[in-house]
Structure 1
């Protein structure tokens, strides 16, 4: 077990300042500040920002979530990233910023629910609701009988990755669209959040539920660490070598893939290997279609598991210390396969 942990900051409520931008838009477009309809979404703002604003208004003003079962979940949705955790101190991360490895992406279906969400989560909710509405609107135009987008349109089925999910993700009651277009209203978004509840919010953020999924405390239902913290944990130096922990893990996995070569060939200098490993971790975080925070195998701390559509992924151990989350990189994972341990996960 690796002992290096990366602290990711205390969860706290922040005052949201982005509505000031909306004030400026309204002022420039001559809207009356005293009009009750002034706070409704309108084409003045870009579409995605309208969705983000509508979600924030619901969560910040008498949120149905804060009045329900999860005050912590409400705080997580609005928390703003702190400045301290955005600075990369590891030399390998600095090198990665200067030199990005260009890798050929395999063709994948672009599910709207994809990638590790980052605080403030209301922005992710707004963007994904916008994407789902656009997808549903296109489907309705093609087939008038299709009122709701089936799950396979927005989330990868658990069975496709070899898992069994306790509750399949559904989006049966998306916020209504004004005049069959894609402009949201605060009232329709509030209705959706009331109907979806905590579980619906977590599903829209991409978190999945299996037998071992951690459900208490509620903060564990959310991705507990931002992308930069997870990358930093993966780029910590390995004690026994000059590789990073991710570089060491990649070297162990590189020989297993005989067909797709997901991890590539572990050759070159230590620095090159570390850069390649960091690029793989970043790709997993950006493109993950399966995110689960669960406990298995008798371990105490929950494990954050992120997987791509092809089944490859990575794991981090997560601990909570005085309301702060800390992570340590546990390694990469292979696609599920029968008798995987006996076959050494070679495929």
Structure 2
């Protein structure tokens, strides 16, 4: 490469090979080279921007590869040509006002959804829900932040009557669900259980 490009192009400001070696030795001593079994060093200047390399990698991976990379599961209803919405969209949907037409109402969709769940778990998984709307909104945000950071099950799949949804669950089965694009928060989820609807998901 040095012969083809010329030393000045590969290492600007360096006039001789000896000067280049001296600069290199400041970062990587001969002893370290020997210890690591280095036999040769190849200096390569990238011919394109890093985003081009990333785009090529993603193109080769395809949807299934990206799903696997992101840790999404594949079930019978999985939509294989979709990607999960960004975290910012998920949090924004949670904070949308529940009563948009009621003046002075500050309760969010997340807090309203939490109100349906906090009494269902005997282990008090959802915590308590009392105080002002602001306090309830914060409780919902704290729970969803915890779920997002600890989830071990993610899926983009079809769930009637909602259509395509993005769903996350933690190791205990608790979770949350949004529309597939993340623009609408659908609600929190209890762990799967036999006859869950009949038992009103109380456990």
Q: TM over 0.5: same fold?
A: yes
Question: How much does 1:62 deviate?
Answer: 8.2
**1:327 aligned onto 2:189:** no
Question: How much does 1:318 deviate?
Answer: 2.3
The residue number in structure 2 matching 1:341 is 197
Gaps spanning 5+ residues in structure 2: where? 1-23, 30-39
**1:316 aligned onto 2:181:** no
For the Cα contact (< 8 Å) 1:59–1:65, is it kept in 2? Answer: no
Alignment counterpart, residue 37 of structure 1, candidates 42, 64, 68: 42
The change in CA–CA distance for 1:62 and 1:295 in structure 2 (over 3 A counts) is closer
The change in CA–CA distance for 1:200 and 1:251 in structure 2 (over 3 A counts) is same
The residue number in structure 1 matching 2:165 is 303
The residue number in structure 2 matching 1:253 is 117
- Kindly report which structure 2 residues correspond to 1:73-92, keeping only aligned pairs within 5 A, or say none: none
TM-score by length of 2: 0.69
The change in CA–CA distance for 1:59 and 1:204 in structure 2 (over 3 A counts) is farther
For the Cα contact (< 8 Å) 1:316–1:330, is it kept in 2? Answer: yes
Equivalents in 2 of 1:309, 1:272: separation in Å? 27
For the Cα contact (< 8 Å) 2:162–2:179, is it kept in 1? Answer: no
Total equivalences in the alignment: 162
Equivalents in 1 of 2:107, 2:151: separation in Å? 25
Based on CA coordinates, which of the two structures has the bigger radius of gyration? 2
TM-score by length of 1: 0.42
The one-character-per-residue Cα deviations of 1:90-130 (angstroms, maximum 9, x if unpaired) are xxxxxxxxxxxxxxxxxxxxxxxxxxxxxxxxxxxxxxxxx
The one-character-per-residue Cα deviations of 1:315-347 (angstroms, maximum 9, x if unpaired) are 10024xxxxxx5110010000000000000000
Equivalents in 1 of 2:25, 2:135: separation in Å? 52
Q: Structure with the greater relative contact order (CA < 8 A, sep ≥ 6): 1 or 2?
A: 1
**1:281 aligned onto 2:144:** yes
The residue number in structure 2 matching 1:199 is 64
The change in CA–CA distance for 1:248 and 1:59 in structure 2 (over 3 A counts) is same
The residue number in structure 2 matching 1:47 is none
Root-mean-square deviation over aligned CA pairs: 3.0
Equivalents in 2 of 1:313, 1:62: separation in Å? 32
For the Cα contact (< 8 Å) 2:165–2:180, is it kept in 1? Answer: yes
Equivalents in 2 of 1:316, 1:69: separation in Å? 26
The residue number in structure 1 matching 2:87 is 227
For the Cα contact (< 8 Å) 1:314–1:332, is it kept in 2? Answer: yes
